[in-house]
Structure 1
Amino acid sequence: MDFHDVRFPARLSFGSMGGPERRTEIVALANGHEERNTPWAHSRRRYDAGVGLRSLDDIAELVAFYEARRGEMFGFRWKDWADLKSCVPSREVHFEDQVIGIGDGETTLFHLVKTYRSGGVEYHRPIAKPVAGSVRIGLHDTEQVQGTDYEIHLATGRVTFAEPPVDGIAVTAGFEFDVPVRFATSRIVTSVASFQAGEVPDVPVVEVRI
């Protein structure tokens, strides 16, 4: 996949607008009922990178980043300030934040996931872009040592254990993460006059599948 493992400047994404999008196909039946179906197993996030721009220097930094990514060609990391941890934003990451699997005595490869719960229903979101230095892994109630007990692949979110976790033991994780995105526009239109008047360019970005 065409992806540059660099993060969009975090200070420019701070204050940006965006969030998850889902696609639902709705068919209205003759009796007034509906049939609803979704072709997407996972939501897709969209953001506006233009909202966080506050100066002409910010615009110059945005244009440089856009040009280096060749516009829509190459993906990059995006910091979603509203959803960036395995726990709630106000808490510190802990190795027991998320259950990412159950040991079977054979499997050594697990994938980072974040579970969203509401009303007794769960959604498991794959996490493909953990932040370096933030990942903590545990087995049952014991934190493991990176480089000795396991390795983390930062480009995919995969966790590989040196030895398979024993049967029935919970594999847990805590982490910060970025969203893999690309620009969703083939051009950036800027104007010094309009920016000084308080108008910022519309710079959409959209999540990509990894």
Structure 2
Amino acid sequence: MAFHEVRFPTSLSFGALGGPERRTEIVTMANGFEERNSPWAGSRRRYDAGMGLRSLDDVEALLAFFEARAGQLHGFRWKDWADHRSAPASRPIAAGDQVLGTGDGQRTEYGLRKAYASGGAVYHRPILKPVADSVCVAVGGAEATGWTLDPAAGLVVFDAPPPDGARVTAGFAFDVPVRFDTDRIEVSMATFQAGEVPRVPVVEIRI
């Protein structure tokens, strides 16, 4: 298998249904109390690409993309319209949006990540597929120069390590690495024209 650095048509993903999922194992004890545990360190996204189909041209575009990815075999990029930026929807992306780490005078590589915080708890989501021309970086609150981006892995690499104690931050747009979660797509023109769309499951992959 391989990962194709190509994005699913955004005109189709715009109407898709989906979002994050977690896996929680729950054991109910004899006294009624529960023990809860999760084997996953992070969440995973699922979507239904069929919900974005509005015309026969959309169906043709979906089938072409599906065939080019060989069904479930190859991964690809997906734009999650509900969550694809480092900044809130109400403001533009800025270099201070997300904290990547603190300089120690030696480290030169920093992985992009997005923080989800609520009630004192924080989940840091690794961002592995940034949109290359959207990324901006700051060190110690000042816009940084002398760095490169690995857009296939979400890594910011500095020519020289940020100084000890300097906060490294970044702003960016990003895609989700996914694959089709089926090797079969069934489309009936009669039912599609009557308003019934095919189900096309898409699932986030670990890379």
Same fold, TM-score > 0.5, yes or no: yes
Deviation at 1:91, TM superposition (A): 1.7
* Structure-2-length-normalised TM-score: 0.99
Tell me the SS of whatever aligns to 2:110. Answer: strand
Aligned counterpart, 1:185: 182
Q: Which amino acid aligns with 2:196?
A: E
User: TM-score with structure 1 length normalisation?
Assistant: 0.97
Shift of 1:90: 2.6
Q: Which amino acid aligns with 1:151?
A: T
Structure 2 counterpart SS, 1:94: coil
- Report the equivalent of 1:167: 164
CA contact (8 A) 2:2 2:75 kept: yes
Runs of 4+ in 1 over 4 A off after TM superposition: none
Contact 1:7 1:76 (8 Å CA) reproduced: yes
Distance (whole Å) between structure 2 residues aligned to residue 68 and residue 88 of structure 1? 34
Given residue 44 of structure 2, which amino acid in structure 1 is its aligned partner? R
Q: Which AA in structure 2 matches 1:30?
A: A
Distance apart, 1:66 and its partner CA: 0.1
Hey, what does 2:99 align to over in structure 1? 99
Aligned residue runs from structure 1 range 131-146, under 5 A? 131-145=131-145
- 1:72 aligns to what? 72
Alignment of structure 1 residues 1-210 onto 2, 5 Å: 2-145=2-145, 149-210=146-207
Task: Tell me the SS of whatever aligns to 2:123.
Answer: strand
Query: Residue by residue, what CA displacement relative to the aligned partner does 1:117-149 show, whole Å, maximum 9, x if unpaired?
Result: 00111000000000020000000110113xxx1
Maintained 8 Å contact 1:49/1:203: yes
SS of the aligned residue for 1:12 comes to: helix
Once the two structures are superposed, residues 46-73 of structure 1 have per-residue CA deviations (whole angstroms, 9 ceiling, x without a partner) of 0000001000110000000000000000
Q: How many pairs align?
A: 207
CA contact (8 A) 2:3 2:74 kept: yes
For the 8 Å contact 1:82–1:89, the answer to whether it is kept is no
